[in-house]
């Protein structure tokens, strides 16, 4: 396969055309605190199985991306240990007795350098894959993601990770406003709330793909072979 040639993958609302060499896999926030038993997500009473079902398809897609020598980017939601980039409103939102920055089940919650903040071992980044630490929900705000994409000639994104309606959706919208096409494989994104997941995907592909395209990882794998 010529990685510099355009290929087409079946998607909604219509087929997605991309050039593999300039299309990065952007994996959003597959962090231990969101996905692992005993983490922050589960501590808040969420059903982590809704997120854990995305691990296997992400693993397979990531392996295919790496085998073809394509570009991979990872993000982590979290804050400086001094909490200087944690807005006070985010700190107190939810009125939980234990909030971001406090000691949780896997170290200080969503604080950079803590165990729970790190990416799950199944999808751990390898040398050369940029890891973007983001203080917000969107991966572009207050990060160097846009500069990295421009420096590496990345023009399109396959966006996966968690959660569908929060950090995935916000990032897809931010990317769209910056002129990037985004394709979201529905089996590689997840939400603690299935109804939000479904609606989050519908919002992306509505109105002729107002924010981007939705497909399935198997369809992407088929065209990569
Ligand atoms: C949330 C995220 N849901 N990665 N973070 O707080 O979607």
Over residues 177-207, the pLDDT tens digits come to: 999 999 999 999 999 999 999 999 999 999 9
Pick the CATH number of 7-224 from 3.20.20.60, 3.40.50.850, 3.30.428.10, 3.55.10.10: 3.40.50.850
**Which pLDDT belongs to residue 115?**
98
Burial of 80 from C-beta contacts in 10 A (0-12 / 13-18 / 19+): middle
Establish whether 90 is a catalytic residue.
Answer: no
Say whether pLDDT at 214 is over 90.
yes
Residues with CB under 6 A from ligand 1: 29, 77, 162-163, 166-167
Q: Report domain extents, the chain.
A: 7-224
For the record, the structure tokens of 209 come out as: 């793909």
Closest atom of ligand 1 relative to the 77 alpha carbon: 4
Residue 90 — φ and ψ, nearest 5°? -70, -35
Catalytic residue among 23, 167, 182, 188: 167
What residue's CA is closest to ligand 1, atom 4?
A: 167
Closest atom of ligand 1 relative to the 29 alpha carbon: 4
The pick from 39, 141, 166 for probing ligand 1's pocket by mutation, whose C-beta has the most ligand atoms within 8 angstroms, reads 166
The model carries a pTM of 0.98
DSSP string across 117-133: GSBPGGG---TT-EEEE
CA distance 178 to 152: 16
Buried b (16+ CB within 10 A) or exposed e, 88-103: eebeeeeeeeebbbee
Closest alpha carbon to 139 in 30, 9, 4, 224: 30
């Amino acid at each position: 396969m010529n990685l510099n040639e355009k290929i087409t993958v079946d998607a909604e609302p219509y087929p997605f055309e991309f050039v593999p060499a300039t299309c990065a896999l952007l994996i959003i926030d597959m962090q231990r605190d969101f996905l692992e038993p005993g983490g922050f997500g589960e501590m808040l009473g969420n059903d982590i199985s809704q997120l854990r079902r995305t691990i296997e398809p992400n693993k397979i897609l990531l392996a295919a991306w790496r085998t073809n020598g394509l570009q991979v980017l990872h993000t982590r939601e979290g804050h400086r240990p001094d909490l200087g980039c944690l807005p006070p409103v985010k700190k107190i939102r939810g009125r939980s007795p234990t909030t971001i920055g406090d000691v949780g089940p896997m170290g200080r919650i969503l604080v950079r350098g803590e165990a729970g903040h790190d990416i799950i071992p199944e999808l751990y980044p390898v040398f050369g894959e940029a890891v973007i630490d983001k203080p917000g929900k969107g991966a572009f705000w207050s990060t160097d993601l846009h500069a990295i994409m421009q420096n590496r000639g990345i023009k399109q994104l396959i966006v996966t990770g968690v959660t569908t309606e929060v950090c995935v959706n916000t990032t897809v919208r931010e990317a769209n406003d910056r002129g990037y096409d985004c394709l979201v494989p529905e089996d590689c994104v997840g939400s603690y709330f299935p109804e939000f997941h479904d609606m989050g995907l519908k919002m992306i592909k509505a109105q002729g793909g107002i924010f981007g395209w939705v497909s399935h990882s198997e369809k992407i794998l088929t065209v990569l072979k």
